[in-house]
């Protein structure tokens, strides 16, 4: 698993059978700052800061915009010349890390 996340602990990969990221939303006490080199995420409830590179920022933005996992992977694949299946797997793993850190929560929670 590629680590796109500055402070991530290893997490379980998401079930990739679902076609979209609409099952997630940004946790209420999280704010993000996207910049040219990536994204900085502030978890106000925990007082922690996380950072991710440009790929992580694309995945974060896709989750916020509720894109499909395939759309996120396609964007990453096109931007960085990475095979789409690899981009999809990495995106799913990063989403699992975001959820494990409490930065994204599942709908209904």
Residue/partner pairs of 30-36 with CB below 8 Å, 24 or more apart: 30/102, 30/103, 32/60, 32/64, 34/60, 34/61
Over its length of 109 residues, how does the chain's per-residue pLDDT go in tens digits?
A: 344 445 433 333 333 333 346 578 899 999 999 999 999 999 999 999 999 999 999 999 999 998 999 999 999 999 999 999 999 999 999 999 999 999 999 876 5
The reported pTM is 0.78
User: What are the helix (H) ranges across the chain?
Assistant: 54-65, 69-80, 84-100
């Amino acid at each position: 698993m590629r680590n796109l996340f500055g402070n991530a602990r290893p997490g379980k990969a998401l079930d990739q059978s679902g076609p979209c990221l609409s099952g997630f939303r940004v946790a209420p006490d999280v704010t993000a700052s996207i910049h040219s080199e990536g994204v900085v995420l502030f978890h106000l409830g925990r007082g922690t800061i996380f950072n991710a590179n440009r790929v992580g920022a694309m995945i974060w933005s896709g989750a916020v915009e509720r894109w499909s996992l395939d759309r996120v992977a396609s964007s990453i694949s096109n931007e960085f010349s990475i095979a789409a299946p690899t981009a999809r797997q990495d995106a799913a793993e990063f989403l699992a890390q975001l959820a494990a850190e409490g930065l994204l929560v599942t709908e209904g929670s």
